[in-house]
Structure 1
Amino acid sequence: MPDPVIALCAPYHHDVLETQFARYAAEYDVRCHRSAAAMTADLQEVRAAGGRVALLVTESVLPDEPFYEAVRDWRAVVPTARRVVAAHWDHFLRQSDELRPGLALGKYDAYLLLPRGARDEEFHTAITELLSDWGATVADPEVVTAKIVTDGDDPLAVGIKDFFDRMGLPARTYPPGSEVGRHVLARLTEESGERPALPVVATAQGDVAAVTSVREVARRVHGSSPSHAVIDRPGETVDVAVVGTGPAGLAAAVYASSEGLSTVAFEAEAVGGQAGTSSMIRNYLGFPRGISGMRLAQRSRNQAMRFGTRFLTGWSVEGLVPGHDGAPHRIRTEDGEVAARAVVVATGVAYRRLGIDSVEDRVGLGVHYGAAVSAARETEGRDVYVVGGGNSAGQAAVHLSRFARSVTILVRRRSLSETMSDYLVRELAYNDRVAVRPCAEVVEAGGQPTLEWIAVEDVETGAVTRHEAAGLFLLLGAAPHCDWIPPEVCRDARGFVLTGRDVPAALWRDGMPPAGLESVVPGVFAAGDVRAGSMKRVAAAAGEGASVVPLVHNHLATLARART
């Protein structure tokens, strides 16, 4: 397959851009044009020939039309390409007031200063980040970490592929009759003497197995040795056990282990939690171009591991046995227990289920709870629907619009402004591929076996209409992951963990409430979306995860004083 294209529109400073982009020529087809019209024609030819366009870069002043009109035209031709405006220093400040609003509306992905000399690594950092984002969400991986052999429509295979994508591990699916599929299956057939049940997963480490759940894949990929997992180690008690690895759990792990506390983090499936499914988080502090949930999660995981956190990926926590009178708490799993002096509950929330049989029967077959970034590629040129009015729904709609012919957001309220951040509301309004249908809910779905249509009811009039749909992405509110928590840990009527002054006064100790993020059980804390009264934002969850560590230190100091 031909190399992906990087297209440059440089009528006045082509010498600068051609020189700067020469470093990418070994792996990309770098093409420079002197006008918007010439670049548009070339992009149309590339698309007609089935080629791929990774990046569009344009000067901020063009001879034949305003740059923002050109960018709009190019977006229509190659919606999946990342778009960069590189302004010459003579124009950068003068045009900044005109250009910066375009970033918020999603007209382009970056507004950069044209390089002023060799090795402008700030410029190239932005370029490589955008190319990396394109490669992770659009292009088929050149080198795969895992091969998934599956036959036809299989929800489990879809879930496994999504797991690998969320873990930042390139994976690809193969039919059993393909060359790769036959080779993978032959390895198991030789061992057992019979063809294994599908799906079968082969990893880069040489492990090949028929699998029955995503959690099993997580354990096989990341190891499940009890000795590695500090399960049943006689006499060992860790300082902190973090249950859940969304932004709150990851932040708690980073700060706890960086301060010398022995830390273990449990995650049943993919690191990152609900935030890890986000295609692009645009309002997280310190990332002006945004960051995908996958990258935020994996960078945080690597940071925590660097300080010594042990991650138990694929380990589902089944229960918590609170310790009393200074005894450690015990985290129960199906393979044993971990003793911990402090526990941070950071299991976050799950999307609320729609509860309609015809919809639930097609989960993984065109219906997805969450953004399911890996499924976006399958929607190219088709119509899809997103249900939900929060930021996650808005981010999913923006990402899907790069692929799908149309994206319709269905929301029960009269508008998105009540529940969605303003920057996303404005970006969606600008995006001509996205429509918002208020006062609407899904009441039925159909297709054999994959989703082909949905029925939508107007909640005010009761009228029901039927629509063709290649994908239905459900991002409906939040239900806490608290089934494993014992009754001693108080929760509110919706199941969220109560902490600090939210704990009923009758349960305060010596007339004093627990610390701000501490539950009614000493040494058991809650951070992030699972906590009652939390803000339900990524940055807020990460802040709570960091803030819980000083409280853990205070608890450990109290235990130490009690022993002396």
Structure 2
Amino acid sequence: MPEPSTTPRPAIVIASEQHGAHLLDEFGRYARDYELHSTTTCEQTTDLLTELVAASAPVALVVTDGDLPDAHPYEAFATWRRLVPTSKRIVTAPYERFLVQSAELRPGLATGKYDAYLLMPRGVRDEEFHGAVTEMLSEWGSTVAAPEVDTVRIVAPTLDPLTSEIREYCVRMGMPTRYYPPDVPEGLEVVQAYEGTPRWPLVRVLHRPVMAPTSAREVGHVMYGAPAQLDVEGVVDLAVVGAGPGGLAAAVYGASEGLRTVVLEGEAIGGQAGTSSMIRNYLGFPRGVSGMRLAQRARNQAIRFGAQFCTGWQVEALEPGVDGAPHVLRVEGGGVVQARAVVVATGVSYRKLGVPGVEELVGRGVNYGSAMSVAREMEGYDAVVVGGGNSAGQAALHLARFARSVTILVRRDGLEATMSQYLIKEIHYNDRVQVHPCCEVVDGGGEARLEWLDLRDTTTGEVHRREAQGLFLLLGAEPHCDWLPRDVARDERGFVLTGRDVPWQAWASGNQPPEALATSLPGVFAVGDIRAGSMKRVAAATGEGSSVVPLVHAYLAPAR
């Protein structure tokens, strides 16, 4: 039997004067895992939340109707969010009030005042209502609560860059992961199980021997197999290089349509989109979905149709097939894959800031990307996000659930030209997030980790110093295609050219350009952010990944 937990159970707080008993009964199915509380006014709820915070009891969810006697839901949630910024928030209304209040309350969703506006259950087994509730509790559990059971334990004296890299990789792969210093019981157990003198970090994955990896990729090899161990037999129909949204869509549609499909991914599943804490404008997810959840669901979907995933396989070369022979993909570490067609979906990486004092602190307060695994550690600290795209906005809003303050720095004079309007509205409403336009980072430093940043006003040249314990850099895009042969035409920035963008000198047929997503090398296609002129949106990459499969079929048709 596992040891009983000493941590207070997460709370679900229900605030309703007229429907409290009904809602408390409906939420009875959660009573085993959550502490249920019921109040009748905004003031009572505020007092209760204050007590729970003082007792260090986590609050997972706050539910209210639209008819509290002493406060409008907008006012109530503004107060409650200051007390428990990490909790999820629901407004629910009975059938007779749902449509009446809809016009007034639905706009609150667009500005992030709460997470859902739901019809109150009218009978037993209202799984539409409870599906929304459990979805939000699941999201809270994966981003806020520490995992109850750790599949991966990482042990090191400090959170150095390698330790942070491994932890972020495991979190993005959906593995319950916890970091421990070596002098606590959980960490000491791992140290004692290691054979030899410890080299930090030590990592234990499930019940496998404790290892001292030198990269996150080594941990991936332990989980999913090393390239030298898992050579793909024979010639596959389709090899997808990269498992971001575009690559995952190509894998789902390719495998579902009968193509023997292999996906090669050097890092975590999901690509840059996989680091997004909450994507709210992706079709079919009205309450939003994290990039990690979206990626893992797509991976499971592709596996269901028979796709094979090779995670931690970094492709280092593509050797073009000659006279009908298959293309050969060579993987770092010795793996080889032969494929009749290849889809390049390697995406992009964030550009480096290039400031020496800041670069030295990567993994110690400085992070490229949103680094979801780090967000919890920003509690009570000041965080800075650099970037004006949607990823930066999503990162800032997620960090605001934990950090004392979040500042978004952009070189432009605002966010309107680069960020979706729904994010701009949420940022404007969130009093923990500030936007500093016409600003850039020119220096940073600290003793053991980041402590301060020097910021320069790009219009006046004035430099001022401010405290910061977290810096999250989301600085545009650099392509991942140095491994491609010269036969694949690229633009001056290194992005892959497809279709009519391919120069006529590189047309394989000599008299007409390649198909829309085809490159200058027959049998090689490109989708998503790696493609020159792409939209740089999750939905656009997904669309290209699905659209490329008919082109692959057409290319393979004569041989098949």
- Establish whether TM, by shorter chain, passes 0.5: yes
Measure how far apart 1:337 and its partner are: 1.5
- Checking the alignment, whether the CA contact within 8 Å between 1:445 and 1:453 is kept in structure 2 is yes
Which structure 2 residues correspond to residues 203-242 of structure 1 after superposition, within 5 A? 203-224=205-226, 226=228, 228-230=230-232, 233=233, 236-242=234-240
* 1:257 alignment partner AA: A
* Residue 461 in structure 1 maps to residue 478 in structure 2: no
1:302-331: per-residue Cα shift (whole Å, max 9, x none)? 001111111110111001011122111000
* Residue 499 in structure 1 maps to residue 465 in structure 2: no
SS at match of 1:91: helix
Q: Within 2, Cα distance between the matches of 1:478 and 1:133?
A: 28
* 1:173 alignment partner AA: Y
1:436-466: per-residue Cα shift (whole Å, max 9, x none)? 0000000001101200000000011100010
Q: Within 2, Cα distance between the matches of 1:287 and 1:38?
A: 33
Give unpaired runs (5+ residues) of structure 2.
1-6
* Residue 155 in structure 1 maps to residue 154 in structure 2: no
User: Where has structure 1 moved over 6 Å in runs of 4 or more?
Assistant: none
Correspondence for 1:181 among 166, 184, 187: 187
- Checking the alignment, whether the CA contact within 8 Å between 2:489 and 2:506 is kept in structure 1 is no
Q: Within 1, Cα distance between the matches of 2:69 and 2:95?
A: 18
- Checking the alignment, whether the CA contact within 8 Å between 2:194 and 2:209 is kept in structure 1 is no
- Checking the alignment, whether the CA contact within 8 Å between 2:227 and 2:335 is kept in structure 1 is no
Measure how far apart 1:533 and its partner are: 0.6
2:396 maps to what in 1? Answer: 397
Which structure 2 residues correspond to residues 536-551 of structure 1 after superposition, within 5 A? 536-551=536-551
Give unpaired runs (5+ residues) of structure 1.
none
- Checking the alignment, whether the CA contact within 8 Å between 2:231 and 2:336 is kept in structure 1 is no
- Checking the alignment, whether the CA contact within 8 Å between 1:60 and 1:88 is kept in structure 2 is no
Measure how far apart 1:196 and its partner are: 2.0
Q: Within 2, Cα distance between the matches of 1:268 and 1:110?
A: 36
Correspondence for 1:324 among 322, 325, 341: 322
Identity across aligned pairs (percent)?
Answer: 59
SS at match of 1:416: coil
Measure how far apart 1:256 and its partner are: 0.3
* Residue 195 in structure 1 maps to residue 193 in structure 2: no
- Checking the alignment, whether the CA contact within 8 Å between 2:519 and 2:526 is kept in structure 1 is yes
- Checking the alignment, whether the CA contact within 8 Å between 1:153 and 1:450 is kept in structure 2 is no
Measure how far apart 1:496 and its partner are: 0.3
2:514 maps to what in 1? Answer: 514
1:253 maps to what in 2? Answer: 251
Q: Structure 1 length as normaliser, TM-score?
A: 0.97
* 2:237 alignment partner AA: D
Q: Within 1, Cα distance between the matches of 2:485 and 2:354?
A: 27
Q: Within 1, Cα distance between the matches of 2:211 and 2:354?
A: 33
Measure how far apart 1:178 and its partner are: 1.5
* 2:471 alignment partner AA: L
Greater mean deviation of Cα atoms: 3-12 or 501-510: 501-510
Measure how far apart 1:426 and its partner are: 1.2
* Residue 532 in structure 1 maps to residue 538 in structure 2: no
Measure how far apart 1:226 and its partner are: 4.2
Q: Within 2, Cα distance between the matches of 1:538 and 1:67?
A: 32
- Checking the alignment, whether the CA contact within 8 Å between 2:275 and 2:369 is kept in structure 1 is yes
Q: Within 2, Cα distance between the matches of 1:472 and 1:377?
A: 14
Q: Within 2, Cα distance between the matches of 1:171 and 1:280?
A: 20
Greater mean deviation of Cα atoms: 487-496 or 66-75: 66-75
1:510-559: per-residue Cα shift (whole Å, max 9, x none)? 31110100000010000000000100000000000000000000010133
- Checking the alignment, whether the CA contact within 8 Å between 1:529 and 1:541 is kept in structure 2 is yes
Q: Within 2, Cα distance between the matches of 1:378 and 1:173?
A: 12
SS at match of 2:412: coil
Measure how far apart 1:87 and its partner are: 1.0
Aligned length: 552
Which structure 2 residues correspond to residues 273-422 of structure 1 after superposition, within 5 A? 273-334=271-332, 335-422=334-421
Measure how far apart 1:225 and its partner are: 6.0
Measure how far apart 1:179 and its partner are: 1.3
2:485 maps to what in 1? Answer: 486
SS at match of 2:96: coil
* Residue 35 in structure 1 maps to residue 41 in structure 2: yes
2:266 maps to what in 1? Answer: 268
SS at match of 2:86: coil
Greater mean deviation of Cα atoms: 384-393 or 321-330: 321-330
1:218-240: per-residue Cα shift (whole Å, max 9, x none)? 1111122645441xx4xx10000
* 1:283 alignment partner AA: N
* 2:525 alignment partner AA: F
Q: Within 1, Cα distance between the matches of 2:248 and 2:132?
A: 25
* 2:132 alignment partner AA: A
Which structure 2 residues correspond to residues 25-64 of structure 1 after superposition, within 5 A? 25-64=31-70
1:186-205: per-residue Cα shift (whole Å, max 9, x none)? 1223xxxx322010110114
SS at match of 1:117: coil
Alpha carbons of 1:81 and 1:437: their partners in 2 closer, same or farther (altered >3 Å)? same
2:126 maps to what in 1? Answer: 120
Q: Within 2, Cα distance between the matches of 1:102 and 1:558?
A: 55
Correspondence for 1:111 among 111, 117, 136: 117
- Checking the alignment, whether the CA contact within 8 Å between 1:185 and 1:195 is kept in structure 2 is no
Q: Within 2, Cα distance between the matches of 1:147 and 1:326?
A: 48
1:331-376: per-residue Cα shift (whole Å, max 9, x none)? 0113131110000000000001111111111111000000001111
Q: Within 2, Cα distance between the matches of 1:61 and 1:163?
A: 44
